[in-house]
Copies of this chain bind each other. A is one copy, B any other.
Amino acid sequence: MTSPMTSPMTGPELHALVERLYPICRSITGDGVRATLEIIGEHVPLKITEVPTGTQVLDWTVPTEWNIRDAYVRDATGRRVIDFRESNLHVVGYSVPVSGTYTLEELRPRLHTLPEQPDLIPYRTSYYAETWGFCLRQETLDAMDDGPYEVLIDSTLRHGSLTIAEHVVPGQIEDEIVISCHTCHPSLANDNLAGIAVAVGLARRLERPRHTCRFLFMPGTIGAITWLALNRDRVDRIAHGLTLACAGDPGRLTYKRSRRGDAGIDRAVTHVLKDRPHDVVPFSPYGYDERQFCSPGFNLPFGSLTRTPYAGYPEYHTSGDNPEFVTPAALADTLETLWQVTRVLEGDRTLLNLSPYGEPQLGRRGLYGSLGGRSDTKQAQLAMLWVLNLSDGEHSLLDIARRADLPFMAVEEAARALQDAGLVKELA
């Protein structure tokens, strides 16, 4: 497997990836996921794992694989009133195959609409209860006569496998930063093609990181459950984790804390977000795959980064969540934020002041302006004083940046200057 790494991806490039992935009909299993991973694989090398139907994974079982070729509800004139080819949202995910004639009255319990958003198609699934159904605009339903209608769902539910993919950037240490994004949603752009695109963008930007960086592309819930089952003995390598979703809408960034509440990832993300419009919300056991990573048995340091959060925008889980809803600028902003978070996680470390009694004389080491009396102390000098004062073995550079209310990179640069001068050393 060779690396296709090139230059960092721009907002328009991220958006183009969203657009390219948009038409594919994904689900928690099936060829749509594989087609998606193939495209991702053009940008970053992937290790694909196929887990057979029936495999026991924690409390769950890998389900049968679902694939679909066509589906419609056709009226007496032969017109497709509901047409899978127009939007893959029209079919309830994991619908069993069906072929027959139905009156509207018979169909009605199987037709899902959004009466308050009559021009949008809802997104519905039924993975674990065998059924079938269609999702459609309320407008369409209102215009349907009593029928009868010819109904087809040309799907298969067969023994197959669940597909998960990983991209790993090896680091200098085994401790891992893990970015996870769900790949199971069909034609929904923000949720979660945007998350996938930003993850790809970050993977492309990393060069020789300190931490091993692992990117997980897998279906929601059952994918995370499966990965955790397969990697149960390796999860203690995860130093910092993030689920990434809804990463491209125009709203402001939202960070949901890990179950631990004050893990390194929580402290890094909230520090980076400090100077941007943002929200920080506490952990809750609902949302994306942080639900699994933060289940009490694992309790991993996983937060969740989104823009407008889970179910927080009217387009959520409807045909309104299309590539127009996602902007290049928002995708680029999420990526830049994530990049800054990575720099904090990578650069954070704990130093020890080797000259802790009084301040060391910075001037004779060329680290301090020689002209005294001025009140416009420079940020760099202030950062050095903070690093010296708090490098007592109890505070990491991120702790210091937060306490000093200085940008992490200013503190990190001060730390390097002091390290170069032999005034501080890194704790083993």
Report the Cα distance A370→B291, complex, angstroms: 18
Which residue on B lies nearest to A403, using beta carbons?
A: B282
Tell me whether B294 and A389 are in contact (CB under 8 A).
yes
Among A72-115, those with CB < 8 Å from B are: 92-93
The answer to whether B361 touches A286, judged by C-beta atoms less than 8 angstroms apart, is no
Decide if A358 touches B298 in the complex (CB within 8 Å): yes
Confirm or deny: A391 has a beta carbon within 8 angstroms of a beta carbon on chain B: yes
Contacts of A129 in B (CB 8 A): 363, 370-371
Q: Which residues of the other chain, B, contact A157 by a CB distance below 8 angstroms?
A: none
Of chain B, the residue at the smallest CB distance from A58 is B358
Within 8 A of B (CB), among A311-326: 311, 316-317
Instruction: Indicate whether A404 sits within 8 Å of B284 (C-beta atoms), given known contacts A357-B297, A358-B224, A363-B129.
Output: yes
Q: How far is the CA of A9 from the CA of B391 in the complex (A)?
A: 43
B285 touches A374 (CB 8 A): no
Stretch at the interface among A37-45, A117-125, A144-152, A266-274: A117-125
Of A198-206, A247-255, A335-343, A380-388, the one contacting chain B is: A380-388
Contact of A357 among B228, B373, B389 (CB under 8 A): B228
On whether A375 and B316 interact (CB within 8 A), knowing A59-B360, A286-B382, A361-B60, the answer reads: yes
Say yes or no: B225 contacts A358, CB within 8 Å.
yes
**CA–CA, A404 and B363, complex, Å:** 49
A126 part of interface (Cβ distance < 8 Å)? yes
Interchain nearest-CB distance for A379 vs B (Å) = 11
A228-B374 in contact (CB<8A):
no
Within the complex, what minimum Cβ distance (angstroms) separates A410 from chain B? 14
A288 interfacial contact with B, CB 8 Å? no
B358 near A391: Cβ-Cβ < 8 Å: no
Residues in B with CB closer than 8 Å to A295 are 356-359, 388-389
Q: Using an 8 Å CB-CB cutoff, how does the interface string of A385-405 with B read, 1 for contact, 0 for none?
A: 110111110000000000010
**Nearest-CB distance from A230 to chain B (Å)?**
12
Structural contact, B373 and A122, CB atoms closer than 8 A = yes
A277 interfacial by beta-carbon distance below 8 Å: no
Closest partner residue, chain B, to A384 (CB atom) = B285
Closest to A57 in B: B358
Nearest to A282 among chain B residues (CB) is: B403
Is A240 engaged at the interface, CB distance under 8 Å to the other chain?
A: no
Q: Which of B58, B127, B375, B386 contacts A285 (CB 8 A)?
A: B386
Given the complex of chains A and B, what is the CA–CA distance between A284 and B381 in angstroms? 13
Complex contact B259–A58 (CB within 8 A): no
Convert A2-44 into 0s and 1s, putting 1 for each residue whose CB lies closer than 8 angstroms to a CB of B. 0000000000000000000000000000000000000000000
A236 CB to closest chain B CB (Å) equals 13
Contacts of A392 in B (CB 8 A): 296, 299
**Other-chain contact of A375, B317, B370, B375 (Cβ < 8 Å):** B317
A156 at the interface (CB under 8 A from B): no
Interface residues of A in 338-366 (CB under 8 A from B): 353, 355-361, 363-364
Is the CB–CB distance between A391 and B357 below 8 Å?
no
Query: A128 and B363 in contact (CB under 8 A), knowing A285-B389, A317-B375, A385-B285?
Result: yes
Please determine whether A126 and B296 come into contact, CB atoms closer than 8 angstroms.
no
Chain B residue nearest in CB terms to A357: B297
Question: Of all chain B residues, which has the CB nearest A59?
Answer: B360
Q: Would you give 29 A-B contacts (Cβ < 8 Å), ordered by A? A: A58-B355, A58-B357, A59-B355, A59-B358, A59-B359, A59-B360, A93-B373, A122-B373, A124-B372, A124-B374, A125-B372, A127-B372, A128-B361, A128-B364, A129-B371, A131-B370, A221-B359, A224-B358, A229-B358, A232-B357, A285-B386, A285-B389, A286-B377, A286-B382, A292-B358, A292-B359, A296-B389, A298-B358, A317-B375
Q: 9 closest A-B pairs (Cβ-Cβ)?
A: A297-B356, A311-B375, A129-B370, A297-B357, A285-B389, A285-B385, A125-B372, A296-B392, A59-B360
Excluding A285-B389, A296-B392, A298-B357, 15 further A-B contacts by CB distance (< 8 Å) are A124-B372, A124-B374, A125-B372, A128-B370, A129-B371, A221-B359, A228-B358, A285-B359, A295-B357, A296-B353, A296-B356, A297-B356, A297-B357, A311-B375, A317-B374
